[in-house]
Every structure is written in structure tokens, then in C-alpha cells.
Amino acid sequence: MSFKIEFKGEKIINIDEDQTILESSLKAGIPHFHECGGNAKCSTCRILILNGQNHLTTPNSKELKLKNILGFNDSIRLACQTKITGDSVIVRRIIRDKTDVSIYSPLVKKDETFREVGEEKDLALFFLDIRNFTPFMQKNLPFDVIHMIRRLFNIFKTNVETQHGKIIETAGDGFYAVFGIDCSLKIAINNAVAAGQQLLKDLKAFNETYAGIYFNHSFEVGIGLHAGTVIIGNIGLGISNNLTAMGLPVNIAARLQAATKELNNSFVVSDYAYSFLQNAIKKFPTANISLRGLSGICKVFLLGNAYNSK
């Protein structure tokens, strides 16, 4: 006897009652990860059950052992050990590519940045917010919301750290990072701009090759960059030592990020920060805006792109 199983966002396939879900998906040409060869020694074939949980075989001893170790809830199953007993089963592959493998099997690195005594430091301050995450959150499952945040933040973190920056605070669908802890302000600002520009390119590629394909959604961000003298130190709450940066320049960078909506541009850089760019040629558009808490008009440079969604 055979049944039908739907891989959400991919295809509906046939599965024989004596086949595992992994065996049937591979036979149908679905690129289903199974790093251990389908022997329940890893969890890369894990799937999220969206419908038809009552039409699945009960977890065997191998699956239960891994489930207890990793703390899976009942809606997550190992495709290599699970068979189906009826129709109307809908699943979603959790790990779809090599990046998913890395974020679900993370290597924990010790944070070596620690400043017990507060100090003044000239830093580049980089604020980012995902501009259209709420619509995605409203129409997707909680699991997919957190999964997507992890994927996006993996892109953001890679770009920031590649350019020697450090994310020091996250809040929902945004974060702020600092550049220049161990280098000059000029180098820090150039690194921050390089990180922002590459991040926008990587996000575009991610939309085209992943988010658009699997979730029919395209993400956009707003980035604000400013620089100045701030107080930096650790507040010592025991979570990565809680490195923090405080001061007016931090607030200005946050407000520049918020102004990306008004200016319809994804990367807004203050005139002061822009003046430090190597070979800075006035080739980017400029705008004059007022920022809350500051007197006068602020000149900014628009290094990003206009938004597709308004």
C-alpha cells in the first residue's frame, strides 16, 4: 500500500508503507540532508510535522534516544526513522542547505572581548532593523519565524565579524554592532561600510535562493551608521560579559536607522562617518534630515537601495 505525503513548498510524493520518509524523499529527488546516512546518529534529516501526526509510526528507540538528548517536541521527527500509515501528512524539511546544518549544530566560541573598566573609545556604530519582518511573522508558524531569524542573523553576523565588528545587542528583529574596538576610527568606518554593502548583497542573494523559494517572501533591512566617542565597557551580568556602548553617537546611529523608512533607502550614513571613507568621492546621493533630540539639519549619504515594499 502506498500513501501521499506533502513536503510543504516543495512537492507531493508517493510513499510506500514500508519506506521511511527519508527514503521516499530521496527517491523523489528531494535534496534531503542525512549526514549520518539515515542511521539516527545525527538530526539533519529532521522534519516539522504540519499535519497528519496521527498517521505516523510511533518513535522507535533510536529516535527516542536522540529526541531526549536534543529536547525535540512531538512535532519534530527524524525522517530516517519515521514511516506513515495514512494520507494527509504534510511536513517541512527543517535543514535545507549547508547553512542550516551550521546554525542547528553551532560551534560555541568563547567571547574574548572583556572590558571590566569603562573607557572612552572612538567607534563606528552600526544599527540594523529588518524592515518587513512583521508580515512574515503573521503568516508563518512560530518555528519558521525563529528559523528565519536564525538564518538572517547568521548572514548579518558573518558580515559584521568578517569586517572585524562585533554585535553587542539584539532586540527582536534588529541589532546594533560596533566597529573599531581594536583599530583606528578610519579603519572602523571603512570596515562598517564594507560590512553593510556586502550584507545587502548577501541578503538579496538569500531572498532569491532561499526565502523567495521556500517562503514566498523577500526581506529588506534598514541600516544606520554613525561614529563618535562613546563609553564602552562590560556591565557584568554574566551573558557574554554584556559589552555595551553608550553615548549620544549611539542614539544618532539608531535614529539614522529609523530614518531609512523616511528616506526610502536601506543604508544611511552620517556626513561625519562618510568623511572618513577612503577615497571618498561624493558619488552617493545625499539628503538633509532633522533627527529627534538634535538641533539643526543633518546631512546624510544614501549608500543603499530604495525599498521594494512601502
Instruction: Give 48-68 pLDDT, tens digit per residue.
Output: 999 999 999 999 999 999 888
Residue 10 reports pLDDT greater than 80: yes
What integer pLDDT is reported at residue 239 of this predicted model? Answer: 45
Interhelix angle 142-162/185-206, rounded to 10 degrees, is 140
Band (109; pLDDT cuts 50, 70, 90): very low
Residue 208 reports pLDDT greater than 50: yes
Residue by residue, DSSP assigns 25-56 as: HHHTT-----TTSSSSSS-TTEEEEEE-GGGB
Residue 77 reports pLDDT greater than 80: yes
**Considering the domain 2-104, what is its CATH architecture?**
Roll (3.10)
Q: Which residue(s) pair with 13 in the sheet? A: 5
For 92, residues 6+ apart whose C-beta sits below 8 A from its C-beta are 7, 8, 9, 47, 48, 50, 144
Alpha carbon distance 34, 32 (integer Å): 6
CATH code, residues 119-302: 3.30.70.1230
Domain extents for the chain?
Answer: 2-104, 119-302
Average pLDDT estimate for 144-161: 93
Percent of the chain with pLDDT over 70: 90
Same fold, 2-104 and 119-302: no
What type of residue is 169? E
